[in-house]
Amino acid sequence: MRKRTLLKAGAAVAMMLSPLTVSAADLPYNLHAGKPHEGTTLNILSVVTPQFDGLMLRDEEFTELTGIETEWTFIPFASLQEKINAEGLAASGAFDVVNYLDSWGPPNAHWLMPIDDLMARDGISMDRYPAAFARSAQFEGQTLGFPLRAHPQVLFYRKDLIPNPPASWEEVAAMGESWEHDDIAPVALYYNNDGNRQALFIWLNFLWGAGEDVFNEDGSAGWTTEAALKATEDYVGLLTEHGVANPNSVAFVEQDARQSFMQGNSAMIPGWWWFYSAFLNPETSTLTKDQVGFVGMPSYADTTKTYAISMPFAISEYSDNKDAAWEFLKWLSNPEMDKANATVREVKGKRIVNNVVTHISSLTDPEVNAANDGIQMAAWESLKESDIMPQIPEWPEVGDILSAAIAEAAAGGDTRQLMLDAAEQANRVLRRAGRIE
């Protein structure tokens, strides 16, 4: 964990967003005039990422406009869920604004403040985001925050090894028959049961492609139909049957799979678009820009439907500074900031390499795409047919059951029986919660 207080000194640099001198009637981003919260200090809990470094380094503008100070606490993703859970249990209001993974929202919704009335008052609509991103920040008809960090899936591939990237998972499976690079696996996947349910990220593409869903209409486990079971067998079979997945994929988490691609040990990886900047970073990757390509996710059973994820920022119900926190969220989430943070590569002398944007206006912006080799337009196409993980409080427990079954199947277990057993366990959880009879 690292903590940062406001940086009020430093050399002036060219920035798309710089502190403004404006009249009270001219405040941008729907901010309230007159600095009614001047002198307030907001404590912000955030995941570690260059994207949010870029936002943090620009927050002098927010203080200039509102008189509100900010203090950021950054936590690595692997530790963030535990921290969020602890904050919810403590009910202390130590953090005014918190950053969380969308699937953690439902079990924590009781202490995340709905913002729909505030959005309506200040003329902000969730329509500015792709539908999957917007849904990821909502629960039971209420909006809990803004999806400030959000990711569609794309397929990265080695252009020097794969001139024509596969358009379907069936084509990926068939690559094992003609693959000629003995020291490089065709694709890096991540089947490990890591506690963050990463084993499900690609599996959902298969399940949805088969026309099935995680839950049936009655709320029970939906992965036991013949089509769903075959889809899971095909997903696991990329490793166990066709041998196209890197043999270490059974133990890989997402980070390991990224490393395998960056170090030249795998020729493809399906994953989040933010990987791109890491793949081109000479400090972390052996690959060059000429070697790395990306396309939309492969189809399964002639259907492409991908998983999207987000990490919204929300206001804590336990905060004593809710009004000031709302002013901060309006500033933090504005479209101009979204664009600047993906196009301006240096802020206050620090290099920021970030291609993550969440507004439709940024995804389709020619300047944003020009600065990032067009990955936003590829992502926008993916997002047109995307969905999110189930938004129910029991999902972390059910998702862990599913992840454990898939990890065991990838290790050589009976995929079909493991998924049937997982459904029985999940239904017990759902029955106990009153979601099914």
The pair phi, psi for residue 133, each rounded to 5°, is -65, -45
- What gap in Å lies between CA 375 and CA 342, rounded to an integer? 11
20 versus 325: the higher-pLDDT residue is 325
**Backbone phi, psi, residue 320, to 5°:** -90, 0
Q: Are residues 402 and 272 in the same domain?
A: yes
Question: Does the structure show a pLDDT above 70 at 80?
Answer: yes
159 and 122 in one domain? Answer: no
Q: Are 165 and 284 found together in one domain?
A: yes
Q: What is the CATH number of the domain that holds 182?
A: 3.40.190.10
**Which pLDDT does position 321 carry in this prediction?**
98
Answer whether residue 180 is part of any domain: yes
Residue 174, sorted as left (phi over 0), alpha (psi -120 to 50) or beta, turns out to be: alpha
> How high is the pLDDT of residue 95?
98
Q: What pLDDT is stored for residue 382 in this prediction?
A: 84
Mean per-residue pLDDT of the chain: 92
Average the pLDDT over 286-302 and give the result: 95
Model confidence, pTM: 0.84
> Domain range for residue 295?
153-307+392-432
325 and 362 inside one domain = yes
Provide mean pLDDT across the span 273-301. Answer: 93
Once rounded to an integer, what is the mean pLDDT over residues 216-241?
Answer: 97
Residue after which a domain boundary falls, among 364, 383, 402 = 383
- Residue 204 and residue 303 share a domain: yes
Sign of CA dihedral 385, 386, 392, 398: positive
Helices (H), ranges, 220-321: 226-240, 254-262, 275-279
Q: Please report whether residue 135 resides in a domain.
A: yes
Helix (H, G, I), strand (E, B) or coil at 407: helix
Q: Over 90: is that where the pLDDT of 20 sits? A: no
Half-sphere exposure of 115 (CA within 13 A, CB side): 29
| Residue 72 domain flag | yes
Query: Are residues 291 and 261 part of one domain?
Result: yes
Answer yes or no: is 50 within a domain: yes
The alpha-helical segments, DSSP class H, found in 7-130 are 50-56, 60-66, 77-90, 105-108, 116-122
d(CA 355, CA 377): 12
3-class state of residue 205 by DSSP = helix
The answer on 221 and 110 residing in a single domain is: no
Indicate whether 4 belongs to any domain.
Answer: no
Tell me the C-alpha distance between 164 and 268, whole Å: 12
Shared-domain flag, residues 88 and 16:
yes
Taking residues 202-220, what's their average pLDDT?
97
Q: Is position 5 within any domain?
A: no
For residue 6, the model assigns a pLDDT of 34
Arithmetic mean of pLDDT, 130-152: 96
Do 198 and 279 share a domain, yes or no?
yes
Contact 436, 430 (CB under 8 A): yes
pLDDT digits (tens, 9 = 90+) for 308-362: 999 999 999 999 999 999 999 999 999 999 999 999 999 999 999 899 999 999 9
Cβ-based neighbours of 297, under 8 Å, separated by 6 or more: 153, 154, 155, 205, 270, 304, 306, 382
Count Cβ neighbours within 10 Å for each residue of 189-219 and write b for 16 or more, e otherwise. bbbbbbebbbbbbbbbbbbbbbebbbbeeeb
User: Does the pLDDT value for residue 371 go beyond 90?
Assistant: yes
| Count of CB atoms situated within 10 Å of the CB of 177 | 9
Is residue 1 one of the residues assigned to a domain? no
Q: Residue 3: beta bridge partners?
A: 73
Instruction: Looking at the structure, tell me whether residues 136 and 157 fall in a common domain.
Output: no
Query: Are 189 and 216 within one domain?
Result: yes
Q: How confident is the model at residue 78 (pLDDT cuts 50, 70, 90)?
A: confident
- What's the token pair of residue 174? 């068939």
Q: Which 3 state secondary structure label does DSSP give 131? A: helix
Same domain, 27 and 163: no
What DSSP character marks residue 266?
A: B
What does the pLDDT read at residue 12?
30
What's the rounded mean pLDDT across residues 216-228? 97
Question: How many domains would you assign to the chain?
Answer: 2
pLDDT-derived band of residue 126, with 50, 70 and 90 as boundaries?
Answer: very high
pLDDT confidence band for 26 (50 / 70 / 90): low
CA gap 156, 168 in Å, rounded: 14
pLDDT of residue 15: 35
**Domain-embedded: residue 2:** no
